[in-house]
Amino acid sequence: MKTITWLKDRASFPVNEALRIVKLSRATWFRWAENGGRKPTPQIHPPKSHYLLEAEKQAIVEFKRAHPEEGYRRLSFMMIDEKIAAVSPASVHRVLQEAGLSSRWTQPAGDAHRKGFIQPTRPHEQWHTDIAYINVAGTHYFFISVLDGFSRSIVHHEVRQGMETRDVEIVVERALEKLPAGSPRPRMISDNGPQYISWDFKAYLRDREVIHSRLMERRTLLDEARERRRQARRNVTIH
């Protein structure tokens, strides 16, 4: 570096030519010129009072391994309650990420989160109900059906002129009448349509001792049920 500087100042020798001769990049030359050719000093980050101790990090990792189904937020408050570590949820998430144990949300019990849904094991354990439109000569009708989740067979269906809560209750009631004697009440599964979230429908199912579960409209759980209903609609003959 001193040689190149001497050639530049005393002999007006071009710096670029000197760098080419000594095979030194321009970036390296200007970096050296800026700090006077001294070896760069590595940055030192002194520990601060709010930094987590290694013992605290290890406690977080061990607590996560003892509770693998819990998310990082719940873990944070559980550790505070059990007086293991007083750490913010963000710090817990960061430590778990570094340890490869990160999970943002609490996982459901068992292995349901792997399968996506716990499938029925017998007929009439779960029923699916839905409403679809049918256009007949420019007139809209409503195909309301109840489908068995185990056999994928339609328990009962009707083509009605209305799609109010009362229409759904009538179809469900006639499906319940077909339930084999002595069979337990099925669990009713539907989307979040206004008929299914109404207080009247809730009261009706409560009177019939039927448990109701609502799913999002685009959940894959209802894909097979909807496909079976589409097949049934194609087989319906309207006179």
Kindly tell me if the per-residue pLDDT of 204 is higher than 80.
Answer: yes
pLDDT surpassing 50 at residue 201: yes
pLDDT at 207: 93
pLDDT of residue 238: 46
- Are residues 50 and 75 in contact, defined by beta-carbon separation less than 8 angstroms? no
Residue among 143, 147, 163 at smallest CA distance from 155: 147
Mean pLDDT across the stretch 187-196? 90
Asked if residues 190 and 172 have their Cβ atoms less than 8 Å apart, the reply is: no
Helical (H) or strand (E) element with 155 = strand 154-160
pLDDT at res. 210 = 92
* pLDDT, tens digit (0-9, with 9 covering 90-100), for 160-185: 999 999 999 999 999 999 998 888 99
Q: Is the pLDDT of residue 33 over 80?
A: no
Q: Which residue in 157, 167, 140 sits closest to 228, CA to CA?
A: 157
**What is the rounded average pLDDT for all residues in the chain?**
79
Distances 12 to 4, 16, 18, 29, 168 between C-alpha atoms, Å: 10, 12, 11, 17, 95
- The H or E element spanning position 137 is none
Quote the pLDDT of residue 43: 72
Mean pLDDT, range 135-159, rounded to an integer: 90
Give how far the C-alpha of residue 226 lies from the chain's centroid of Cα atoms, to the nearest Å.
23
Does pLDDT of 221 surpass 50? no
Banded model confidence at residue 17, pLDDT cuts 50, 70, 90? confident
**pLDDT of 144 above 90:** yes
Q: Report which DSSP code applies to 86.
A: -
51 pLDDT band, cuts 50/70/90, is confident
d(CA 106, CA 59): 19
